[in-house]
Chain A
Amino acid sequence: MATEHVKHIEAYSPQFGTMIPSGFQKWLRTCVLWQLVRFVAINIKMTMLILKSHH
């Protein structure tokens, strides 16, 4: 069902006013191939951050 991932949200509750990830987005979060790419990306970002932070 297209609305499976949002069916627990109650109208006008605090949860009603924010983003809810789609099923595809949630699937990507544990898709090993995509996450291998993100693993490399996160490590690059953190390395850049460390290099900028040491004085």
Chain B
Amino acid sequence: MARLVIMGAGVAGHTAASFASDWLGKEHEVVVVTPNSQWNWIPSNIWVGVGEMSKDEVVFPLAPVYEKAGVDYRQAKAVSVHPEGKADSDAPYITIEYTGQDKEGQSEELTYDYLINATGPKLNFGATPGLDAGHTVSVCTADHAVHANVELENLIEKMKKGEKQKILIGTGHGMCTCQGAAFEYIFNVEHKLKEEGVRDMAEITFITNESFLGDFGMGGLHFKVGGFVTSSKVFAESLYAERGMNWIIGAHVNKVEAGKVTYELLDGSAGEAEFDFSMLIPPFAGVGFTAFDKAGEDITSKLFAPNGFMKVDAKYDAGAYENWKASDWPRTLQNPDYKNIFAAGIAFAPPHIISKPMSSPNGTPINPTPPRTGMPSAMMGKAVAASICDMIKGKTNEPTHTASMSEMGAACVASAGKGLFNGTAAAMTVYPIIPDFEKYPGTGRDLNGTTGEIGLAAHWVKHILHHAFIWKAKLKPGWTLIPE
């Protein structure tokens, strides 16, 4: 019997655990280690953050699902990785510290034959002074979104009393990713204000580390509209302009105070923005594991990149932007030194960012870091699980499945307001996620696979996806038929 240990139960980890337990059956052991007791369909946190959904609609308890699937669920956080075992044992193991199951604070060693790191990110609120001080809100977790909605409701009450309010939504650091979440939230807030009849009482501004609106951390995208090949810059700017919303681009928020942020722009100038309500996305970092060899020497830098994400089969020495290629991106997601360790989702270390690197004249890097949430995360989790299952069953010693972001597309449905007949969303497909300028000269993407439009139909798609993915995550009948 082999044991597969999966650290993390987000989109990548839960997908890997679900498929691995299905494919391996009872002959082998699948163990999931996550500090969380609940699974969260994060894309719908946006709707929680504007009061259109309750927390209960976007989360469910993990324990019964894993019990049904035969997965050994440990509510614990992984602390360290020991890929060579220890002095008296060659068995690789991780150390975990329980956060629930009536074992809070207890530590344990958990041996593995194969390990998947799918821990997702650490929400690095500490990277920007004041971002963790409660002056702003976030929608990164369901609880954060509930709090955001409470604050938004208070704001709406003030507007109904005739007080004009300033709203600032965007990224809280120059190295943030997940601009899509901020994008969705600002449009949902604007939609909510219209529904409440107070839109004219709010001045709404988007602040972003993107060098242009519509970069989305992917260097933007192009698609065919009305006989033109149009940039996502025009698409995104149009959406903001149509709604009378302002934007600040190329901004590194360097300080958050009560009612005010200060920021540095790509041209080196400094600025301030005042707010009565602000939702700022924090930057992401690896969760901060340590790793040790058999002798107990620290090998964290061997297993993890300086940002805390795990090294895999990527080309980490690609050099300057001019040398970057789509093939720099990992395919098997296997660690090069320890072949029984894989990383999936946000947890793997990208070889470099996707957007062109930029910094201010003061040397401050201001560019989005690569998005790898949602569909890519799920596809990586499934591919890694498939490779490991083949290896466990003795079919091969090498990974049999790949999930390179340079060979896969992504579908993104960004809500712009919820409502069965008056909701809208932007539906975008991009192929491939990593622009391949050798294969697709000019825009780097297949114009037949890269599309964008806004409308009610996309909202319906988003709403259906909400229910479909929660159905799938609960492993209800037919879950394997729902694609990633």
Contact = CB atoms under 8 A, between A and B. Distances in A.
Nearest to B422: A30
Contacts of A39: 457, 460-461
Q: Which residue among B244, B409, B410 has the maximum number of chain A CB atoms within 10 Å of its CB?
A: B409
Nearest to A31: B456
A4 B483 CA distance: 43
A28 B456 CA distance: 9
A3 to B, nearest CB: 14
Interface residues of B, number: 38
Contacts of B379: 53-54
Nearest to A36: B457
A20 B409 contact: no
Contacts of A48: 449
Contact of B383 (A5, A9, A41, A55): A55
A49 B240 contact: no
A19 B234 contact: yes
Interface string B143-184: 000000000000000000000000000000000000000000
Given A8-B244, A20-B242, A53-B379, A30 B411 contact: no
Given A39-B460, A42-B453, A49 B234 contact: no
Interface string A8-26: 1100001101111100001
A15 B451 contact: no
A39 to B, nearest CB: 4
A14 B247 contact: yes
A46 interface: yes
Interface of A: 5, 8-9, 14-15, 17-21, 26, 28-32, 34-39, 41-43, 45-46, 48-50, 52-55
Contact of A20 (B238, B407, B422, B453): B238
Interface string B212-254: 0000000000000000000000100110111010110000000
A46 B455 contact: no
B431 A49 contact: yes
Given A19-B238, A20-B241, A29 B427 contact: no
Contact of B461 (A21, A26, A31, A42): A42
A43 B247 contact: no
A14 to B, nearest CB: 6
Q: Which residue among B379, B456, B458 has the maximum number of chain A CB atoms within 10 Å of its CB?
A: B456
Contact of A32 (B240, B409, B421, B453): B421
B400 to A, nearest CB: 10
B455 A29 contact: yes
13 contacts: A14-B247, A15-B244, A18-B238, A30-B456, A32-B456, A35-B456, A38-B453, A38-B458, A42-B458, A42-B461, A52-B408, A54-B408, A55-B407
Contact of A53 (B237, B408, B460): B408
B441 to A, nearest CB: 19
